[in-house]
Chain A
Protein backbone atom coordinates (compact mmCIF):
# COMPACT_ATOMS: atom_id res chain seq x y z
CA UNK A 1 0.00 0.00 0.00
CA UNK A 2 1.29 3.50 -0.84
CA UNK A 3 1.31 6.00 2.00
CA UNK A 4 -1.57 8.29 2.88
CA UNK A 5 -0.27 11.53 1.39
CA UNK A 6 0.27 9.89 -2.00
CA UNK A 7 -3.25 8.43 -1.99
CA UNK A 8 -4.72 11.79 -0.99
CA UNK A 9 -2.91 13.78 -3.69
CA UNK A 10 -3.43 11.10 -6.35
CA UNK A 11 -7.18 11.14 -5.63
CA UNK A 12 -7.16 14.96 -5.71
CA UNK A 13 -5.31 14.99 -9.04
CA UNK A 14 -7.54 12.42 -10.70
CA UNK A 15 -10.73 14.01 -9.35
CA UNK A 16 -9.68 17.46 -10.56
CA UNK A 17 -8.68 16.05 -13.96
CA UNK A 18 -12.11 14.39 -14.25
CA UNK A 19 -13.67 17.77 -13.47
CA UNK A 20 -11.58 19.25 -16.31
CA UNK A 21 -12.78 16.62 -18.78
CA UNK A 22 -16.42 16.39 -17.67
CA UNK A 23 -17.47 19.94 -16.79
CA UNK A 24 -19.52 21.70 -19.45
CA UNK A 25 -18.41 25.10 -18.15
CA UNK A 26 -15.00 26.13 -19.51
CA UNK A 27 -14.12 28.16 -16.40
CA UNK A 28 -14.89 25.18 -14.14
CA UNK A 29 -12.67 23.10 -16.44
CA UNK A 30 -9.83 25.58 -15.96
CA UNK A 31 -10.28 25.45 -12.18
CA UNK A 32 -10.10 21.64 -12.33
CA UNK A 33 -6.94 21.94 -14.42
CA UNK A 34 -5.32 24.24 -11.82
CA UNK A 35 -6.19 21.79 -9.03
CA UNK A 36 -4.83 18.84 -11.06
CA UNK A 37 -1.56 20.70 -11.70
CA UNK A 38 -1.22 21.52 -8.00
CA UNK A 39 -1.83 17.82 -7.25
CA UNK A 40 0.95 16.86 -9.69
CA UNK A 41 3.22 19.44 -8.02
CA UNK A 42 2.47 17.80 -4.66
CA UNK A 43 3.46 14.48 -6.18
CA UNK A 44 6.74 16.08 -7.32
CA UNK A 45 7.28 17.05 -3.67
CA UNK A 46 6.60 13.47 -2.58
CA UNK A 47 9.23 12.38 -5.13
CA UNK A 48 11.75 14.75 -3.46
CA UNK A 49 11.87 16.97 -6.58
CA UNK A 50 11.16 20.16 -4.63
CA UNK A 51 12.50 22.57 -7.23
CA UNK A 52 10.31 21.06 -9.96
CA UNK A 53 7.28 21.16 -7.65
CA UNK A 54 7.75 24.88 -7.03
CA UNK A 55 8.35 25.44 -10.75
CA UNK A 56 5.18 23.52 -11.60
CA UNK A 57 3.07 25.72 -9.31
CA UNK A 58 4.71 28.98 -10.43
CA UNK A 59 4.84 28.40 -14.18
CA UNK A 60 1.97 25.99 -14.88
CA UNK A 61 -0.66 26.51 -12.18
CA UNK A 62 0.26 30.20 -12.03
CA UNK A 63 1.29 31.82 -15.29
CA UNK A 64 0.00 29.36 -17.89
CA UNK A 65 -3.41 28.87 -16.29
CA UNK A 66 -3.92 32.63 -15.81
CA UNK A 67 -3.31 32.95 -19.56
CA UNK A 68 -5.86 30.18 -20.20
CA UNK A 69 -8.48 31.78 -17.90
CA UNK A 70 -7.91 35.14 -19.56
CA UNK A 71 -8.49 33.74 -23.06
CA UNK A 72 -11.50 31.66 -21.92
CA UNK A 73 -13.18 34.69 -20.40
CA UNK A 74 -12.25 36.79 -23.43
CA UNK A 75 -13.57 34.42 -26.09
CA UNK A 76 -16.26 31.99 -25.06
CA UNK A 77 -19.73 32.10 -23.68
CA UNK A 78 -18.56 29.69 -21.03
CA UNK A 79 -21.44 27.22 -20.69
CA UNK A 80 -22.00 24.55 -23.32
CA UNK A 81 -25.28 22.78 -23.95
CA UNK A 82 -25.67 19.04 -23.52
CA UNK A 83 -26.65 18.67 -27.20
CA UNK A 84 -23.02 19.31 -28.18
CA UNK A 85 -22.20 15.87 -26.77
CA UNK A 86 -24.17 13.10 -28.47
CA UNK A 87 -24.12 9.69 -26.79
CA UNK A 88 -21.94 8.35 -29.59
CA UNK A 89 -18.98 10.60 -28.79
CA UNK A 90 -19.47 10.09 -25.05
CA UNK A 91 -19.41 6.30 -25.56
CA UNK A 92 -16.26 6.61 -27.69
CA UNK A 93 -14.61 8.68 -24.96
CA UNK A 94 -15.56 6.20 -22.25
CA UNK A 95 -14.28 3.29 -24.35
CA UNK A 96 -10.93 5.02 -24.99
CA UNK A 97 -10.59 5.90 -21.31
CA UNK A 98 -11.30 2.38 -20.07
CA UNK A 99 -9.04 0.86 -22.72
CA UNK A 100 -6.13 3.09 -21.73
CA UNK A 101 -6.81 2.81 -18.00
CA UNK A 102 -6.99 -0.99 -18.20
CA UNK A 103 -3.75 -0.97 -20.21
CA UNK A 104 -2.04 1.21 -17.59
CA UNK A 105 -3.24 -1.01 -14.72
CA UNK A 106 -2.13 -4.14 -16.54
CA UNK A 107 1.28 -2.75 -17.52
CA UNK A 108 2.19 -1.11 -14.22
CA UNK A 109 0.52 -3.44 -11.70
CA UNK A 110 -0.01 -6.93 -13.08
CA UNK A 111 2.50 -7.53 -15.87
CA UNK A 112 5.50 -7.32 -13.50
CA UNK A 113 7.35 -5.13 -16.00
CA UNK A 114 7.88 -2.43 -13.35
CA UNK A 115 10.15 -3.50 -10.49
CA UNK A 116 8.40 -3.16 -7.15
CA UNK A 117 11.37 -1.53 -5.46
CA UNK A 118 10.70 1.16 -2.89
CA UNK A 119 12.22 4.60 -3.32
CA UNK A 120 14.93 3.91 -0.76
CA UNK A 121 16.64 6.52 1.38
CA UNK A 122 15.91 10.21 0.92
CA UNK A 123 18.31 11.61 -1.73
CA UNK A 124 21.05 13.91 -0.46
CA UNK A 125 20.69 17.66 -0.68
CA UNK A 126 23.90 17.90 -2.70
CA UNK A 127 26.38 15.31 -3.84
CA UNK A 128 29.89 15.32 -5.27
CA UNK A 129 28.60 13.38 -8.29
CA UNK A 130 26.70 15.94 -10.43
CA UNK A 131 24.46 13.37 -12.10
CA UNK A 132 23.15 11.87 -8.85
CA UNK A 133 19.59 12.82 -7.87
CA UNK A 134 19.76 15.67 -5.35
CA UNK A 135 17.04 17.78 -3.77
CA UNK A 136 18.70 21.22 -3.81
CA UNK A 137 18.04 23.58 -6.74
CA UNK A 138 21.82 23.89 -7.00
CA UNK A 139 21.85 20.40 -8.49
CA UNK A 140 19.86 21.75 -11.45
CA UNK A 141 22.10 24.77 -11.94
CA UNK A 142 25.23 22.66 -11.87
CA UNK A 143 24.01 20.43 -14.71
CA UNK A 144 22.28 23.19 -16.70
CA UNK A 145 25.52 25.15 -17.05
CA UNK A 146 27.73 22.17 -17.84
CA UNK A 147 26.24 19.07 -19.46
CA UNK A 148 23.04 20.78 -20.67
CA UNK A 149 24.47 24.17 -21.66
CA UNK A 150 23.51 23.90 -25.35
CA UNK A 151 19.88 22.79 -24.65
CA UNK A 152 19.61 25.67 -22.16
CA UNK A 153 20.71 28.17 -24.81
CA UNK A 154 18.29 26.66 -27.32
CA UNK A 155 15.45 26.87 -24.77
CA UNK A 156 16.24 30.52 -24.19
CA UNK A 157 16.23 31.17 -27.94
CA UNK A 158 12.96 29.26 -28.23
CA UNK A 159 11.37 31.58 -25.66
CA UNK A 160 12.52 34.57 -27.71
CA UNK A 161 11.07 33.05 -30.91
CA UNK A 162 7.78 32.33 -29.12
CA UNK A 163 7.67 35.93 -27.89
CA UNK A 164 8.18 37.32 -31.41
CA UNK A 165 5.70 34.79 -32.84
CA UNK A 166 2.97 35.71 -30.36
CA UNK A 167 3.42 39.43 -31.07
CA UNK A 168 3.20 38.90 -34.83
CA UNK A 169 0.20 36.57 -34.44
CA UNK A 170 -1.65 39.07 -32.27
CA UNK A 171 -1.46 41.86 -34.83
CA UNK A 172 -4.87 42.90 -36.09
CA UNK A 173 -5.21 41.56 -39.66
CA UNK A 174 -7.67 44.33 -40.60
CA UNK A 175 -5.20 47.00 -39.58
CA UNK A 176 -2.51 45.33 -41.71
CA UNK A 177 -4.61 45.45 -44.89
CA UNK A 178 -5.36 49.14 -44.53
Chain B
Protein backbone atom coordinates (compact mmCIF):
# COMPACT_ATOMS: atom_id res chain seq x y z
CA UNK B 1 0.00 0.00 0.00
CA UNK B 2 3.03 2.27 0.42
CA UNK B 3 3.44 3.17 -3.22
CA UNK B 4 -0.20 3.89 -4.05
CA UNK B 5 -0.69 7.64 -3.78
CA UNK B 6 -3.81 9.76 -3.55
CA UNK B 7 -3.47 10.56 -7.26
CA UNK B 8 -3.86 6.88 -8.23
CA UNK B 9 -7.16 6.54 -6.37
CA UNK B 10 -8.44 9.85 -7.72
CA UNK B 11 -7.49 8.81 -11.26
CA UNK B 12 -9.46 5.57 -10.87
CA UNK B 13 -12.43 7.56 -9.55
CA UNK B 14 -12.17 10.05 -12.43
CA UNK B 15 -12.05 7.33 -15.08
CA UNK B 16 -15.03 5.54 -13.49
CA UNK B 17 -16.97 8.81 -13.50
CA UNK B 18 -16.07 9.36 -17.17
CA UNK B 19 -17.29 5.86 -18.06
CA UNK B 20 -20.53 6.46 -16.15
CA UNK B 21 -21.22 9.79 -17.86
CA UNK B 22 -20.49 8.23 -21.26
CA UNK B 23 -23.05 5.52 -20.50
CA UNK B 24 -25.65 8.07 -19.41
CA UNK B 25 -25.20 9.99 -22.67
CA UNK B 26 -25.05 7.05 -25.07
CA UNK B 27 -27.30 4.30 -23.74
CA UNK B 28 -30.98 4.19 -24.70
CA UNK B 29 -32.26 1.69 -22.12
CA UNK B 30 -33.44 3.69 -19.08
CA UNK B 31 -32.41 0.90 -16.70
CA UNK B 32 -28.84 0.86 -18.05
CA UNK B 33 -28.76 4.68 -17.92
CA UNK B 34 -29.79 4.45 -14.27
CA UNK B 35 -27.02 1.93 -13.56
CA UNK B 36 -24.49 4.28 -15.16
CA UNK B 37 -25.77 7.07 -12.87
CA UNK B 38 -25.12 4.81 -9.90
CA UNK B 39 -21.61 4.18 -11.24
CA UNK B 40 -20.94 7.94 -11.24
CA UNK B 41 -22.15 8.14 -7.63
CA UNK B 42 -19.85 5.26 -6.67
CA UNK B 43 -16.90 7.00 -8.34
CA UNK B 44 -17.58 10.07 -6.19
CA UNK B 45 -17.67 7.95 -3.02
CA UNK B 46 -14.34 6.40 -4.00
CA UNK B 47 -12.76 9.86 -4.20
CA UNK B 48 -14.28 10.78 -0.81
CA UNK B 49 -12.89 7.68 0.89
CA UNK B 50 -9.46 8.29 -0.65
CA UNK B 51 -9.40 11.91 0.60
CA UNK B 52 -10.61 10.76 4.00
CA UNK B 53 -7.89 8.12 4.30
CA UNK B 54 -5.05 10.35 3.13
CA UNK B 55 -6.10 13.27 5.33
CA UNK B 56 -6.57 10.89 8.28
CA UNK B 57 -10.01 12.19 9.21
CA UNK B 58 -13.21 10.21 9.62
CA UNK B 59 -15.63 12.76 8.12
CA UNK B 60 -15.34 11.67 4.47
CA UNK B 61 -15.96 8.05 5.42
CA UNK B 62 -19.08 9.04 7.40
CA UNK B 63 -20.27 11.03 4.39
CA UNK B 64 -19.88 7.92 2.23
CA UNK B 65 -21.95 5.99 4.79
CA UNK B 66 -24.79 8.50 4.29
CA UNK B 67 -24.36 8.44 0.51
CA UNK B 68 -24.79 4.63 0.49
CA UNK B 69 -27.96 5.01 2.60
CA UNK B 70 -29.45 7.69 0.38
CA UNK B 71 -28.47 5.80 -2.80
CA UNK B 72 -30.32 2.70 -1.60
CA UNK B 73 -33.48 4.74 -1.00
CA UNK B 74 -33.02 6.57 -4.31
CA UNK B 75 -32.66 3.34 -6.30
CA UNK B 76 -35.86 1.96 -4.78
CA UNK B 77 -37.86 5.08 -5.70
CA UNK B 78 -36.26 5.38 -9.16
CA UNK B 79 -36.97 1.77 -10.07
CA UNK B 80 -40.56 2.16 -8.87
CA UNK B 81 -40.86 5.21 -11.17
CA UNK B 82 -39.44 3.22 -14.10
CA UNK B 83 -41.87 0.35 -13.46
CA UNK B 84 -44.77 2.84 -13.27
CA UNK B 85 -43.57 4.43 -16.53
CA UNK B 86 -43.43 1.01 -18.19
CA UNK B 87 -46.96 0.18 -17.08
CA UNK B 88 -48.26 3.45 -18.52
CA UNK B 89 -46.21 3.62 -21.74
CA UNK B 90 -45.06 0.06 -22.35
CA UNK B 91 -41.43 0.97 -22.92
CA UNK B 92 -38.24 1.83 -21.06
CA UNK B 93 -36.31 3.01 -24.13
CA UNK B 94 -35.47 6.70 -23.93
CA UNK B 95 -35.79 7.16 -27.72
CA UNK B 96 -39.41 5.97 -27.58
CA UNK B 97 -40.39 8.27 -24.71
CA UNK B 98 -40.36 11.57 -26.61
CA UNK B 99 -43.90 12.88 -26.09
CA UNK B 100 -42.67 16.20 -24.72
CA UNK B 101 -40.20 16.68 -27.61
CA UNK B 102 -42.59 15.90 -30.49
Number of interface residues of A (CB under 8 A): 89
Tell me whether chain B's interface is mostly helix, strand or loop, or mixed.
Answer: helix
Contact A96 B77 (CB under 8 A): no
Q: Who on chain B is nearest to A58 by CB?
A: B68
Within the assembled complex, what's the spacing in Å between the Cα atoms of A118 and B22? 31
A3-B4, A37-B42, A68-B79 given as contacts; is B26 within 8 A of A21 (CB)? yes
Q: Who on chain B is nearest to A159 by CB?
A: B73
B97 within 8 A of A: no
Chain A 59-98 near chain B by CB (<8 Å), digits 1 or 0: 1100110011001101110001000110001101110110
A residues near B55, Cβ cutoff 8 Å: 133
Within the assembled complex, what's the spacing in Å between the Cα atoms of A53 and B46? 10
Q: Who on chain B is nearest to A101 by CB?
A: B18
Q: Kindly identify, within residues 72 to 90 of chain B, every residue whose CB is under 8 Å from any CB belonging to chain A.
A: 72-77, 79-84, 86-88
Contact B12 A75 (CB under 8 A): no
B interface residues, Cβ below 8 angstroms from A: 1-12, 14-23, 25-29, 31-32, 34-36, 38-39, 42, 45-46, 49-50, 52-59, 61-62, 64-66, 68-77, 79-84, 86-88, 92-93, 95
Question: Can you name 20 A-B pairs with beta carbons within 8 Å?
Answer: A3-B1, A17-B19, A21-B26, A26-B29, A40-B42, A49-B52, A63-B72, A68-B31, A68-B35, A80-B28, A100-B14, A104-B15, A117-B54, A119-B2, A119-B4, A132-B57, A133-B58, A144-B62, A158-B70, A162-B73
